[in-house]
């Protein structure tokens, strides 16, 4: 990446400069309480380096999908408190991210201090990449730093539109580190194993088509499984199937076969008649009429974990079943353990997979935990991320 990083920016000096940092502080929030705070923690190193260098640090992020209108439950105010605690310094908060309020808050910032702006997506201009909104953000800053890897796949005002309007730009440490680690999946030591889970074939289709010929082994789990089984005319019972994606699933299978790659589908399944905690479960090879698949079975879990142990590079995104319910989490957990046991390079991305890894307390055994779900999927399939491209121009 031909973009300056923080080293260069700090060498040139930022003392007293208004540095706008686009971070991805989009964390799970329930009743004003932060769930997993990994994204906040991962954003700290860049902020610490900038405050130590005497910058006036303006942090901006989105939270959730408020669709262009203020929505109190998606306020970033609780994140300001968390940042203050983790940075061990005062963090001021502006209830608007542009205009007089934001400008006044920036004017009050002393060198080395941090201000967090309210949710960027409270303005429709953010997601529309509106010029006037981008200009209003840019007016706050002398320097722009993008550290929001998790949002780098979005061409929004704060990730793209404002970038050419600020005189000095740089990539933050998190953004650089993510690209460095994920490049290993694009240019892997082989064999490369990709494990993809999650509910929808439709959202993972592009990545599967790109990775089926690239990965030595592509292992599929999660509810996507049943669309693949249906495409192969295998029994799916009452499992959730995206009927209009069966043709797409067949295309992915054909692409893997043409390239001489192995595409693995679960050979056994945990099934129930009602998707709820405490439901009676069975483990089956063929899903009976009226039963619903909720997890990969133990034989499949052991097979996927074994592939992970043998691979030189593993990339995993997406749960293997309805892992929010403990009784259906065994497959996801076995895969997480298998990925942690990989002797080569392991990379895990996506909120659900990270949650599983964190729940098991095995994060330290994974090579790289990506803060980006969608962004990491787009990057590893070789797409250009608009947030990165904007820095390069």
C-beta of 266 vs 318, nearer to Mg ion: 318
C-beta of 266 vs 373, nearer to ligand 3PG: 373
Kind plus residue range of the DSSP H or E element containing 335: helix 330-340
DSSP-assigned beta bridge partners for residue 349: 317
Catalytic residue from among 125, 150, 222, 351: 351
Query: What proportions of the chain, in percent to the nearest 5, are helix, strand and coil?
Result: 45, 15, 40
- b/e code 342-354 from CB counts within 10 Å (16+ = b): bebbbbbbbbbbb
Binding Mg ion (rule: CB under 5 A), the pick from 374, 381, 383, 389 is 374
C-beta of 38 vs 346, nearer to ligand 3PG: 38
- b/e code 75-98 from CB counts within 10 Å (16+ = b): bbebbbebbbebbeeebbbbebbb
Catalytic residue from among 68, 363, 367, 374: 374
Instruction: Tell me the residue nearest to Mg ion as measured from the CB.
Output: 374
Please, which of residues 317-336 interact with ligand 3PG by CB under 6 A? Answer: none
Question: Rounded CA gap, 169 and 163, in Å?
Answer: 7
Question: Rounded CA gap, 266 and 332, in Å?
Answer: 13
Binding ligand 3PG (rule: CB under 6 A), the pick from 15, 41, 52, 65 is 65
Question: Rounded CA gap, 100 and 105, in Å?
Answer: 9
Note whether 28 binds ligand 3PG by CB under 6 A: no
| Beta carbon of residue 374, minimum distance to Mg ion (angstroms, whole number) | 4
- b/e code 144-162 from CB counts within 10 Å (16+ = b): bbbbbbbbbbbebbbbbbb
DSSP-assigned beta bridge partners for residue 60: 22
C-beta of 199 vs 305, nearer to ligand 3PG: 199
Active site annotation includes 351: yes
Question: Rounded CA gap, 25 and 230, in Å?
Answer: 39
Q: Which stretch binds Mg ion (CB under 5 A): 130-138, 176-184, 289-297, 371-379?
A: 371-379
Note whether 68 binds Mg ion by CB under 5 A: no
Q: In what order do the strands lie in the sheet with 292-296?
A: 282-284, 269-272, 292-296
- Residues binding Mg ion: number (CB under 5 A): 1
Q: Which stretch binds ligand 3PG (CB under 6 A): 71-79, 146-154, 201-209, 240-248?
A: 146-154
| Beta carbon of residue 267, minimum distance to ligand 3PG (angstroms, whole number) | 32
Note whether 386 binds ligand 3PG by CB under 6 A: no
Whole-number CA gyration radius for the chain? 22
Q: Which stretch binds Mg ion (CB under 5 A): 204-212, 235-243, 261-269, 367-375?
A: 367-375
Question: Rounded CA gap, 333 and 356, in Å?
Answer: 7
Binding ligand 3PG (rule: CB under 6 A), the pick from 154, 214, 261, 337 is 154
Q: Which stretch binds Mg ion (CB under 5 A): 48-56, 92-100, 322-330, 368-376?
A: 368-376
| Beta carbon of residue 275, minimum distance to ligand 3PG (angstroms, whole number) | 25
Question: In terms of Cα–Cα distance, which of 186, 213, 212 is closest to 313?
Answer: 186
Which residues of this chain interact with Mg ion, rule CB under 5 A? 374
Residues acting as catalytic residues: 39, 200, 351, 374
Which residues of this chain interact with ligand 3PG, rule CB under 6 A? 24, 26, 65, 150-151, 154, 373-374
């Amino acid at each position: 990446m031909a973009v300056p990083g923080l080293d260069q920016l700090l060498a040139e000096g930022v003392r007293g400069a208004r540095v706008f940092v686009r971070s991805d502080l989009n964390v799970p929030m329930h009743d004003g309480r932060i769930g997993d705070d990994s994204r906040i923690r991962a954003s700290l190193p860049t902020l610490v380096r900038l405050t130590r260098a005497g910058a006036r640090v303006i942090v901006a992020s989105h939270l959730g999908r408020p669709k262009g209108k203020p929505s109190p439950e998606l306020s970033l105010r609780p994140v300001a408190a968390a940042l203050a605690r983790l940075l061990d310094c005062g963090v001021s908060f502006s209830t608007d991210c542009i205009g007089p309020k934001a400008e006044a808050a920036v004017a009050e910032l002393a060198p080395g201090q941090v201000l967090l702006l309210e949710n960027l997506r409270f303005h429709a201009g953010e997601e529309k990449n509106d010029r006037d909104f981008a200009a209003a953000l840019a007016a706050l800053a002398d320097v722009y730093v993008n550290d929001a890897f998790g949002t780098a796949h979005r061409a929004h005002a704060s990730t793209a539109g404002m970038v050419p309007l600020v005189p000095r730009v740089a990539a933050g440490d998190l953004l650089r580190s993510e690209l460095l680690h994920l490049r290993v999946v694009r240019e892997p030591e082989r064999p490369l194993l990709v494990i993809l889970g999650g509910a929808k074939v439709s959202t993972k289709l592009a990545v599967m088509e790109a990775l089926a010929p690239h990965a030595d082994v592509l292992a599929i789990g999660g509810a996507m499984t049943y669309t693949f089984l249906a495409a192969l005319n295998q029994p799916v019972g009452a499992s959730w199937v995206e009927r209009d994606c069966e043709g797409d699933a067949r295309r992915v299978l054909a692409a893997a076969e043409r390239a001489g790659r192995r595409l693995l589908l679960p050979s056994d399944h945990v099934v129930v008649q009602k998707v709820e905690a405490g439901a009676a479960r069975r483990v089956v090879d063929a899903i009976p009429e009226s039963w619903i698949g909720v997890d990969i079975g133990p034989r499949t879990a052991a097979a996927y974990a074994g592939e992970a142990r043998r691979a030189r590079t593993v990339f995993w995104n997406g749960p293997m079943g309805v892992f929010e319910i403990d009784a259906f989490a065994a497959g996801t957990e076995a895969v997480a353990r298998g990925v942690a046991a990989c002797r080569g390079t392991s990379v895990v991305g996506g909120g659900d997979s990270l949650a599983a890894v964190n729940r098991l307390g095995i994060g330290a055994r994974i090579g790289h935990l990506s803060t980006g779900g969608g962004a990491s999927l787009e990057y590893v399939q070789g797409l250009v991320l608009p947030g990165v491209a904007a820095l390069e121009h």
